[in-house]
């Protein structure tokens, strides 16, 4: 299976979104923003799962990855500090 037949232009765009959002999640100093970036990664990945004919996995990823996990992380961030400290 060739990668060009598997992915059309939109899918590659979604892949780019995943990469950018993942970098944002890792690099952003504001943890609230980082959590939202991680949620965007999950949402975009769930679209990819759908495109790869795995609707069951896509639903799990959207409901648990983008929904519940994001909320749990947000609550945890609220409990701690919102901005990551510089490493000593």
From the list 10-18, 23-31, 37-45, 76-84, the region that binds other proteins by CB under 8 A is: 76-84
- The nearer residue to other proteins, 12 or 75, going by C-beta atoms, is 75
Contact flag: residue 81 with other proteins (CB under 8 A): no
Per-residue tokens: 37: 């970036």
Q: Residue 78, class by beta-carbon neighbours within 10 Å (0-12 exposed, 13-18 middle, 19+ buried)? A: exposed
Count of CA atoms in the C-beta half-sphere (13 A) of 36: 7
What residues make contact with other proteins under the rule CB under 8 A?
Answer: 1, 55-56, 58-60, 63-64, 67-68, 71-72, 75-76, 78-79
């Amino acid at each position: 299976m060739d990668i060009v037949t598997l992915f059309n232009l939109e899918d590659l765009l979604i892949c780019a979104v995943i990469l950018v959002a993942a970098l944002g999640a890792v690099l952003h100093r504001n943890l609230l923003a980082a959590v939202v970036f991680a949620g965007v990664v999950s949402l975009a990945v769930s679209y990819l799962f759908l495109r790869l004919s795995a609707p069951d996995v896509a639903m799990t990823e959207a409901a648990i990855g983008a929904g519940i996990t994001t909320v749990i992380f947000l609550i945890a961030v609220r409990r701690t500090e919102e901005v990551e400290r510089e490493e000593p």
